[in-house]
Structures are given as C-alpha cells and as structure tokens.
C-alpha cells in the first residue's frame, strides 16, 4: 500500500502516527470546532426559516399602490391683511391603480417576481347587534392570493370557501364579537357599501393584531363595498429572494411610478434583528475557525521542532524544500479532513438530541431544523482548507532548515 503512495504522503502519515497523542488531540479539537460550526449553522438557519415563516407567510413581500396624495397649498388671511400659505395634507381615500391589468402583466414578466395578486384593501366596520369593530377589508382573488399568503394553511375552523356571500375572519376578531362559523356579519364602508356576509372560516396568521383586524372577502365583493368597480387598490407580490425585496421594490417604483412598499421597509426592526443575528453568527464561526487553525498550527510547529533531525536527514538525502513543505501541508490537510468527518458526526448527534429535547408543550418541534448534505460538505472543505492554511507557516519553517543545522539540532 505504501508503494502506491508518494513519498510525501508516507512521511506525513508516519509523522502523525509517531505523534499519535498529539494527533488525536488536535483532530478532536478540530472536530469540536467543526461540530460547533455545523450545529450553529443548522440551528440558526432553522431559526431564521421559522421567523420568516411566521412573519412573511402572512404578508406579501411587496405591495404596490398609488402614490399618496400630496398636500395642497391653501390661502389664509391674517389679522393684518397678509395672505399666508398653509399646507394641508388631504385624507387618503381608497383609489384604484391606473391600468392595473397592465401593471399586473408587467410584474408577471419580471424574473425576480414569483407571484402576483391584485386586491382591494380598505377600512370598514363589521356589525353584529350592538357590537361593532373596525377592520381592514381585503378583497382577493382566491386562486392567486394563496401564492402570496397560504391562507388555506392558516384556517383553524371552517374552510377556504370564497363566494360573494362569504368572508374569512381572524380568531381574535371572532372572539371579540362572540361569533362562530355560519354566523352573519354586516359589513359597512365609508363609501356607503353595506353587505351582510356569512363567516365561512376562521384563520390564525400568528399575529394578534392581524387576527383582530384582517377580514378577507372575494375581490368583486370588496369592489362593490368600496365603490371600486373593476378596480384594485393594491397589487401584492412575492419575490424570489426575500432579502432583495427592497431593491426590487425600488426598481418597480422607478419603472411604474407607483408606491412600492417592501416587507423590509414595513418590518425594519425585524429585518435589522435578522441581520444582526446573521452577522453575529458569522463572527462566531470565524473565531471558531481561527481557534481551530491556531491549534493545528501550534501542533505542527511543535512537530517541526521535534522532527528537526528527520527533516535534516531528508534534506541531506536529496529531499527538496518543496517535498518537506508538502509533508507538513499534507499533515494539516489530513488533520482538517479527519476533524471535519468526526465533527460532522458529532454535529449530527447534537442535532438529533436537539430535536428530541427542544419541543413545545404540546409535543411539537420548537422549530424545524433541516440539515443538507451541502452543509456537511462545506464544513469538510472549510476544515481541510483551514488545516492546509494553518500548516503553511510550519511547512515554510521546515523547508527553510539547513540540513547540517537540522541534524545538529
């Protein structure tokens, strides 16, 4: 077997075997570093995906609407007879997007947009007896809107049934009004719209405010209630890369002249929190990687000192500096590779233990963690490269030794 290996590999493996205890310690150290990186990466990715699911699964990534009406100057006369100019911001009424069908078609052609759904959104009141509640009335196209918000998955009672006589309300609104499936609510709007609708389903969007405020009806029903016959007030979009939503929104706004609100702009604190989490996890991974590299480098430096006579003999027998360098680089690579394999197994065990321990009171997982083969392969590659990088300095030191000086010690 040794005859099949190059000389550098034979020497590197022999040095690792002779310093067995040192080799085991550094491989275990590298394995712990890899395990921490893999475990943290999987844990943070799962946490981030869970947060995304809770926050972004109940709202569009981008909302297009008409620009807000600007303030109009008004002339007023002071006591001294001077004419003064005053700015008064007008009230914002529900209005339709001009040529919204063309805007919808243009958005569907964009490669960075996955789904498009027109809707009518406006304020309204629901009445039941003497009780009333202000709501946000949302008229949707049922087939298109589920590509933006998976409403059928949010239904806790009833069904995702949308006809001109039906409505879906949140569980908090139902609790406040004391209603249940099959009950009827009267919906009124500022434009004079007035309809009595049947509660076809109750939903839970994961937010108390949304469950108390949102009420979904058919698009045509909302158009009749708000007086936007044939029009839509908003166009909801889902983009391919959620973190690029603000850039996509700015691009759409400049092209269409519409106001484009991304989830990043409307949930800025949440976005900043995700970024802080991402950067902190990257810093932790960096410092863990540096500690692993420092450990490998220190062991190899000691190995160079211990093997100085062997290095001198190799050089005296005709071994080149390049061969000596490769011996220690191979040692670093082997340590990194073995550490990555062992560390990946340790990380898999930790993740399995986490799934068994981290559960909600009802027994469901706290959040889903998925570990891809790509993560393990990337960890193995990173650890191997770290081992090689850590071996550069000891390898250069060994290669620069003069044969006579090395043999003398």
Q: Provide CB contacts within 8 A for 174, sequence distance 6+.
A: 180, 199, 202
CATH class label, 100-257:
mainly beta
**CB of 234 closer than 8 Å to CB of 200:** no
Question: Where do the structural domains in the chain lie, given as residue ranges?
Answer: 2-55+271-408, 100-257
Q: Mean pLDDT over residues 152-157, rounded?
A: 91
Output the CA angle 64-66-69, nearest 5 degrees.
Answer: 145
**CB of 195 closer than 8 Å to CB of 127:** no
Confidence of residue 283 (pLDDT cuts 50, 70, 90): confident
Higher pLDDT pick, 136 / 57: 136
Higher pLDDT pick, 209 / 391: 209
**pLDDT, position 125:** 92
What does the DSSP assignment read for 348-388?
HHHHHHHHHH-B-TTSSBSS-----HHHHHHHHHHHHHHHH
Q: How far apart are CA 283 and CA 293, in angstroms?
A: 15
Q: Mean pLDDT over residues 50-64, rounded?
A: 80
Q: What is the DSSP letter of 59?
A: S
Cα-based distances in Å from 49 to 16, 45, 308:
42, 6, 52
| Residue 91 confidence (pLDDT) above 50 | no
Question: What is the residue whose two structure tokens read 């937010």?
Answer: 207
The predicted model scores a pTM of: 0.67
pLDDT tens by residue, 346-376: 888 888 888 777 777 766 666 677 767 777 7
**CB of 137 closer than 8 Å to CB of 226:** yes
């Amino acid at each position: 077997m040794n005859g099949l290996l190059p000389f550098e590999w034979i020497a590197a493996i022999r040095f690792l075997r002779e310093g067995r205890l040192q080799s085991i310690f550094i491989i275990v150290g590298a394995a712990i570093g890899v395990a921490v990186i893999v475990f943290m990466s999987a844990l943070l990715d799962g946490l981030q995906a869970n947060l995304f699911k809770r926050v972004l699964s109940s709202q569009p990534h981008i909302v297009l609407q008409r620009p807000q009406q600007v303030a109009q100057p008004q002339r007023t006369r002071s006591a001294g007879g001077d004419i003064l100019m005053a700015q008064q911001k007008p009230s914002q009424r529900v209005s339709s997007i001009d040529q919204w069908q063309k805007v919808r078609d243009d958005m569907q052609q964009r490669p960075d947009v996955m789904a498009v759904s027109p809707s009518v959104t406006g304020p309204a009141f629901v009445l039941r007896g003497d009780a009333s509640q202000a709501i946000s009335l949302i008229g949707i196209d049922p087939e298109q809107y589920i590509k933006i918000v998976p409403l059928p998955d949010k239904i806790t009672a009833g069904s995702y049934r949308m006809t001109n006589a039906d409505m879906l309300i949140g569980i908090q609104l139902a609790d406040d009004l004391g209603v249940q499936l099959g009950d009827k609510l009267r919906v009124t709007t500022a434009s004079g719209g007035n309809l009595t609708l049947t509660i076809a389903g109750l939903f839970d969007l994961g937010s108390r405010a949304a469950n108390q405020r949102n009420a979904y009806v058919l698009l045509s029903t909302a158009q009749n209630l708000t007086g936007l016959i044939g029009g839509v007030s908003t166009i909801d979009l889902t983009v391919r890369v959620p973190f690029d939503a603000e850039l996509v929104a700015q691009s759409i706004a400049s092209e269409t002249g519409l106001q484009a609100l991304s989830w990043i702009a409307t949930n800025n604190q949440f976005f900043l929190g995700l970024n802080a989490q991402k950067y902190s996890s990257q810093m932790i991974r960096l410092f863990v990687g540096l500690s692993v590299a420092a450990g490998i480098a220190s062991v190899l430096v000691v190995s160079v000192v211990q093997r100085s006579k062997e290095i001198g003999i190799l050089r005296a027998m005709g071994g080149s500096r390049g061969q000596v360098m490769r011996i220690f680089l191979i040692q670093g690579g082997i340590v990194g590779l073995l550490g990555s394999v062992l560390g990946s197994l340790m990380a898999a065990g930790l993740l399995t233990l986490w799934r068994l321990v981290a559960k909600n009171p009802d027994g469901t997982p706290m959040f889903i963690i998925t570990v891809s083969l790509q993560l393990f392969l990337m960890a193995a590659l990173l650890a191997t490269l770290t081992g090689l990088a850590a071996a550069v300095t000891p390898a250069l030191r060994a290669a620069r030794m003069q044969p006579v000086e090395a043999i003398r010690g």
